[in-house]
Structure 1
Amino acid sequence: MQIQADIGPFHEWAFPDGTLWTRFFHTDTGYLLRFPNLADFSVSPDGHEVTAYPVPGLSQQTIEHLYQNQVLPLALSRQFKLVLHASAIEIENFAMAFMGASGHGKSTLAAHFSTCGNRFLTDDGLQLEKGEDGYLIQPSHPSIRLWEDSSAALIPETTAAAPAVDYTPKSRFLADDEVAYCDEPRPLRALYFLGEGSANAVLIEPISGRDAMIELVKNCFLLDIEEREMLMHHFGQLSELARIPMFFRLDYPRRYEWLPQVRNVVIRHASELL
């Protein structure tokens, strides 16, 4: 059963149509994340302990899906980890990332690249670890979530789909020989911010560190937006990342027949950076 919250939420997430998605509460034991009519998740202050309280009858697949894709990235932020709304694929043992708002094509690009031989590391919830020579992208769950039209256009019929979940019509496809997955960390060499799809050709252009910082702030996972110390630390992480000249704007017509050309242009551009 869901937990009784003693005070009102300090933050809420809603879909573009206004539908409430997540409510965030402070509790005596840390944080409470409420997904209405689905589940509550309690998260310890340090993000190392998470407990699910689903509504009766919620499938195990839905609980795991909520945890992997919604709760875990936020819990990692309490561990001072840097987690971004981005997908990532591998080119010549390096990682290239695609960042953008929901519906801009992050998962579509990850799926297309992976079915063409460039292994994917994540379709969202990209976790970065700072090393001596830059940043490493950590692999996440070996699956890609797609809308029906994208899965029909991109995913081989022989690829296994994970069991359906209760809150989204998206399908989740498990990595296999045809949807190639990279299970090792890879150095990040470029991050492409996805445009709106208004271009009539495949366009890549560099962007400034200032503009990159704005996009990074908009597309990061952060559980507590009120805690000053955590905000300062997180802002410092993003500022340090934004100083590296590896950020670009990528735009292209949002039609599936353009994806092979997008891949060719990105590979050619990435090769110039390696």
Structure 2
Amino acid sequence: MKHRYRAHGLDVASEVELPLPPAPLPQGVPDLVLRHGEGRPVPGGRPPGRLLAELTGSDGVVFYSLGTDGQRTTLRYPALCEFTGDAGLAEVTARLHPGTDPGLLPVLAAGTLLAVRLMLRHHLVLHASAVQRDGRALAFVGASGMGKSTLAAALCGHGCGLVADDVLRVDRAGGELRVYPGSTESRLRTSARGLAETAPPSAVRPTADGRLALRPRVHADGPLPLAACVVPRPSRDAREVSVVRLPPSKAFLRLTQFPRVLGWRDPASMDRSFQALADLVERVPVFDATIPWGPPFRDDVLTDLLTTVT
């Protein structure tokens, strides 16, 4: 394999270049092998077998679907891309629909495919971006568009290191919860492009889904204890950071609103995820945080946020 990575605690061998930390000493059997197959039309119907997840628009059009017949599992984006592999998606072949931008493949592989692989192995996966500060991780959890990547990128310019973007694996180790390094880039929306203005050209690139990938200072040395989870509430009107710590029952309900893989319906993995999430909210503080929104962010806003939640 041309590329070897160590991301989310998995050894990944890939024919496709991915925005993931390189494996320091690749050895043994990878946890995920990704091959780039020949392009072919990707149909609009559901994959064969039992449906594990599906996301549709308000018009009923399928955005993606995930199905398994017990031997093979398929993650299908109609008319875009399809990932097909064994039951647990350990050996996967990716095929693009004719005319699809090849740059979309790394976005989907490093995002949804890895999230699905982790969930099929019954790991807790948060829809979160995380940064490292003082040897611990701070996670920003929320739906797309709530500012997770923007805050992570801003804090990386404020002395933190990027741990993961968009996909965050959480495991219990003894009495603490820890998270794993994932993506080496923050994928920013158009409104957050100002965060990349001072970065060297080699650290910035456009992505196939219309965003800007910024490669900040990265933490990729191994798992970190999880210090806190923050659900951001961006505000153009607020003048100062306002933080509320949620009791465990409300924290649990709040975090269940933001699944990384929307439309997930596999009972076994859902049950384990709910148990792991219940354990998380008992052990890790969860905050709702109203944040005066940038970019640019005032230095005192970022400092106050870090001081309040860590």
Q: Do structure 1's residue 239 and structure 2's residue 278 form an aligned pair?
A: yes
**CA displacement 1:9-63 (0-9 Å, x = unmatched):** 6643246898742123334533322112210112433242322121134454321
| Alpha-carbon distance in structure 1 between the residues aligned to 2:274 and 2:51 | 23
> Is 1:99–1:106's contact at 8 Å kept on the other side of the alignment?
yes
Q: Deviations over 1:38-89 (max 9, x none)?
A: 1011243324232212113445432122100121111110011111111111
In structure 2, do the counterparts of structure 1 residues 16 and 92 end up closer, same or farther at CA, with 3 Å as the change threshold? farther
Q: Could you tell me which amino acid in structure 1 is paired with residue 302 of structure 2? A: R
Unaligned 5+ runs, structure 1: none
TM-score, length basis structure 2: 0.76
Instruction: Supply the RMSD in Å over aligned alpha carbons.
Output: 2.7
Decide which moves more: 54-63 or 200-209: 54-63
Q: Could you tell me which residue of structure 2 aligns to residue 228 of structure 1?
A: 267
Give unpaired runs (5+ residues) of structure 2.
1-39
Number of paired residues?
266
Q: Give the conservation status (yes or no) of the 8 Å contact 1:85–1:100.
A: yes
Is the contact between residue 190 and residue 270 of structure 1 (CA under 8 Å) also seen in structure 2? yes
Deviation, 1:217, is 1.9
Q: In percent, how many aligned pairs have the same letter?
A: 23
For 2:82, the equivalent position in structure 1 comes to 40
1:194 is matched by which residue type in structure 2?
A: P
Identify the match of residue 218 of structure 2 among 158, 162, 181. 181
Distance 2:202 2:219 in 1: 18
Identify the residue that residue 248 of structure 1 maps to in structure 2.
287
Please give the secondary structure, in 1, of the residue aligned with 2:235: coil
Residue 55 of structure 1 corresponds to which residue in structure 2? 97
* In structure 1, C-alpha distance between the alignment counterparts of 2:204 and 2:102, rounded to whole Å: 12
Q: Which residue of 2 aligns with 1:208?
A: 247
> For residues 159 and 190 of structure 1, do their structure 2 counterparts lie closer, same or farther at Cα, with a shift above 3 Å needed?
farther
Q: 1:87 to 1:132 in 2, by over 3 A?
A: same
CA distance in 1, matches of 2:192, 2:148: 12
Instruction: Work out which of the residue numbers 85, 103, 116 in structure 1 matches 2:145.
Output: 103
- Sort the Cα spacing of 1:11 and 1:136 in 2 relative to 1 into closer, same or farther, 3 A: closer
1:192 corresponds to: 230
Larger fraction in strand: 2
Question: Offset of 1:151 from its aligned partner?
Answer: 1.9
| Structure 2 residue matching 1:230: 3-state secondary structure | helix
Shift of 1:241: 1.2
Q: Pick which of 207-216 and 12-21 moved more.
A: 12-21
Q: Shift of the alpha carbon at 1:138?
A: 0.4
Matched, 1:75 2:117: yes
Equivalent position SS for 1:160: helix
SS of corresponding position for 2:292: coil
The amino acid across from 1:169 in the alignment is G
Measured after TM superposition, the shift of residue 212 of structure 1 is 1.2
Following superposition, the deviation at residue 250 of structure 1 comes to 0.8
Separation (CA, whole Å) in 2 of partners of 1:180 and 1:262 = 20
Structure-2 change in CA distance of 1:159 and 1:17 (3 Å): farther
Q: Give the CA deviation at 1:261.
A: 2.8
- Report if the CA contact (8 A) 1:77-1:223 is conserved: no
Secondary structure of 1:182's aligned partner? coil
Residues 117-164 of structure 1: per-residue CA shift (max 9 Å, x gap): 211101210111211131111001211101233122444241425664
Question: Which one is further off, 2-11 or 223-232?
Answer: 2-11
Cα distance change on mapping 1:242 and 1:47 into 2, 3 Å: farther
TM-score, normalised via structure 1 length: 0.85
